[in-house]
């Protein structure tokens, strides 16, 4: 199972996978960080499709086409803003990953790439975010045998190290 996990530091918008996950805001209309990069790379058609979806609740996920991205689809999910962990943030982050994997399953997606959801401007501590990401990926690989590859794409050298350490703990 662990051979289906990859961790690569780089640009998620360049990956040729079935779907990339967008760490979106509730409007789905673009923003900063990964969200802005995905929208810029996909082109104006992405925001046009997103505007027809009626936004997205925190912890949920919705799918669109990938347009000008190498990925065929974008799964948009909204992770929680970190408030110290006492306002349901862990449950919401788990739900965001779980919903991404459900949407992937429902749409026949075999390879999916994730950024570190909520661990950028939303302030979620990287170690806690990685633990949830890896644990949910492990469950998804158990539940969805058709899933061939899960790629985590940390944005920095420091984040890469946290992902690698968490991987060794979750997939001994």
Length of the chain (residues): 172
> For position 67, which CATH number holds?
3.40.220.10
Q: Report residue 32 CA to chain centroid gap.
A: 15
* Runs of H (alpha helix) within the chain: 33-42, 44-50, 89-106, 126-143, 157-170
Q: Are 86 and 58 in contact (CB under 8 A)?
A: no
Residue with tokens 């992405």: 46
Q: Are 118 and 155 in contact (CB under 8 A)?
A: no
The structure's pTM equals 0.97
CA distances from 16 to 20, 73, 84, 123 (A): 9, 10, 36, 28
| 82-136 confidence digits (pLDDT tens) | 999 999 999 999 999 999 999 999 999 999 999 999 999 999 999 999 999 999 9
As a whole number, mean pLDDT of residues 55-62 equals 98
CA distance 45 to 3: 35
Structural domain total, the chain: 1
| 11-50 confidence digits (pLDDT tens) | 999 999 999 999 999 999 999 999 999 999 999 999 999 9
What domain range is 145 assigned to?
A: 2-170
């Amino acid at each position: 199972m662990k051979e289906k996990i990859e961790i690569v530091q780089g640009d998620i918008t360049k990956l040729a996978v079935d779907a990339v996950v967008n760490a979106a805001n509730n409007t789905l209309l673009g923003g900063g960080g990964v969200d802005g990069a995905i929208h810029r790379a996909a082109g104006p058609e992405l925001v046009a499709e997103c505007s027809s979806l009626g936004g997205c609740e925190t912890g949920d996920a919705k799918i669109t086409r990938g347009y000008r991205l190498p990925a065929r689809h974008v799964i948009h999910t909204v992770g929680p803003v970190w408030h110290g962990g006492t306002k349901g943030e862990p449950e919401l982050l788990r739900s965001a990953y779980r919903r991404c994997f459900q949407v992937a399953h429902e749409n026949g997606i075999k390879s999916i790439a994730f950024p570190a959801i909520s661990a950028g401007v939303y302030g979620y501590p990287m170690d806690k975010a990685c633990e949830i990401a890896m644990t949910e990926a492990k469950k998804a690989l158990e539940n969805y045998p058709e899933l061939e590859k899960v790629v985590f794409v940390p944005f920095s050298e420091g984040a890469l190290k946290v992902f690698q350490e968490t991987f060794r703990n979750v997939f001994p």
